[in-house]
Amino acid sequence: MAYKKATNEAPKEVSKVNDDIEQVVTIKEEVAEPEELNLEKKVTIKNIAGWEVGFARIEGIGDIRITAEANIKLARSEIIQQVQNGNRLFTGVAGDGDHATLFID
């Protein structure tokens, strides 16, 4: 989930200046608030292999080919579909990312 930063102000510390006056110190903290995820945004995919790789699109028509050690831009929604469908170029041999051929930047 993507986050945007917001500022949250709250008194954190109270100290006495003298018997009649108390000083309140306010510390500003940056708080992460959820931002809506745009699935159509393009993300860079790197082929870390020394050979060309390719796979069929799930969300569209056609194939995707990535030449050796090259980068392409691919929609987040397509990447999510490929990973959920077990494309070993993304998930690796055991499905946990080990020995994957494509790197999501």
User: Which residues does 19 contact at the CB level (< 8 Å), separation at least 6?
Assistant: none
Residues 48 and 99 in one domain: yes
Q: Which residue has the higher pLDDT, 37 or 15?
A: 37
* CB-neighbour burial class of residue 104 (10 A; exposed 0-12, middle 13-18, buried 19+): middle
Residues 60 and 98 in one domain: yes
Q: Which of 3-7, 32-36, 74-78 has the lowest mean pLDDT?
A: 3-7
How does pLDDT run across 91-100, given as a tens digit for each residue? 998 888 888 9
pTM over 0.85: no
Q: How many domains does the chain have?
A: 2
Give me the domain span that covers residue 22.
Answer: 2-35
Residues 100 and 81 in one domain: yes
